[in-house]
Amino acid sequence: MADSDRRDKTAVGRTGARFGHVSSNPGRAEEEWGEPAVATARPGIGRTGARFGSALPDHPPVSVVPEPAEPAEPPAPEWVEVDRSRSIVRPYAWTGGRTETAYDLPMEALISTNRATLQRLGSRMTVDHRAVTDLCQMTRSVAEVAALLSMPLGVARIVLGDMASAGMVIVHRTDTSAGYEPDLAMMERVLSGLRNL
């Protein structure tokens, strides 16, 4: 029995398709394999592949990750100023779709507020009319009113013409008013003065 125990010990792990069956060649198992192998000084050899990893040394890898640069300060957001004085109403809505008025106002015509009418109308004026009368406390041209209210010049001419018809503003006579003929003598004097320069 001792002999069969010995055969069983040497046969462990040495059976199968590659080595054949233990019972087919009982004496050969001891001759071929001899003493079991002892580990060498290089334990990583022979232990490579998907199961064991690479044959490189097992000391911890050195981290070569660069330190992150200090984050750049994000640019300050650019705030867009919204002009609250500007109306969101379309120009044709201000004029009711009209393109002409009773007054033909040139862009240099001077406009001022009629204080007597303002006191009479009081709070019954529209927001647009109130803005115009506030601006025209000082005498201003049609072009100035249009620019300060951010409305097209044609629209400003119609709105101011309607206000002049209602008596809310006063239109001051200018030298370019209708029916005014320029003084030729004065123009000759200006021309000769320019030539003398």
Report pLDDT for 187. 78
Instruction: List phi, psi (to 5°) of 113.
Output: -80, 140
pLDDT of residue 23: 57
Ramachandran area for residue 189 (φ above 0: left; ψ -120 to 50: alpha; else beta)? alpha
pLDDT reported for residue 101: 73
Closest CA to 170 of 140, 125, 131, 144: 140
Q: Work out the pLDDT band at 17, boundaries 50, 70, 90.
A: low
Q: What's 106's DSSP letter?
A: -
In the sheet with 140-141, reading across from the earlier edge strand, the strands are 140-141, 110-113, 169-172
Q: How high does pLDDT run on average in the chain? A: 70
- Letter for the amino acid at 125? M
Q: What is the DSSP string of 142-168?
A: HHHHHHHTT--HHHHHHHHHHHHHHTS
Position with higher pLDDT, 147 vs 122? 147
- Name beta bridge partners: 95: none
Q: Which residue carries 């030539």 as its tokens?
A: 195
Please report the pLDDT score of residue 115 as a whole number.
83
Residue 95: closest CA among 129, 136, 144:
129
Is the predicted pLDDT of residue 125 greater than 60, yes or no? Answer: yes
Tell me the per-residue pLDDT of 21-64, one tens digit each, with 9 for 90 and over: 555 555 554 555 556 665 555 555 556 666 666 555 556 666 66
Over the range 154-173, which residues count as b (16 or more CB within 10 Å of their CB) and which as e? ebbbbbbbbbbeeebbbbee
pLDDT at 128: 77
Per-residue confidence (pLDDT) for residue 153, from 0 to 100: 85
pTM: 0.44
pLDDT value of position 149: 86
Which residue's structure tokens are 């590659």? Answer: 18
- What are the pLDDT digits (tens) for 63-115? 667 777 777 776 666 665 555 555 555 555 556 666 677 777 888 888 888 88
Which tokens is 85 given? 């004085």
**Which pLDDT score, from 0 to 100, does residue 188 have?**
83
Instruction: Assess whether pLDDT exceeds 80 at residue 157.
Output: yes
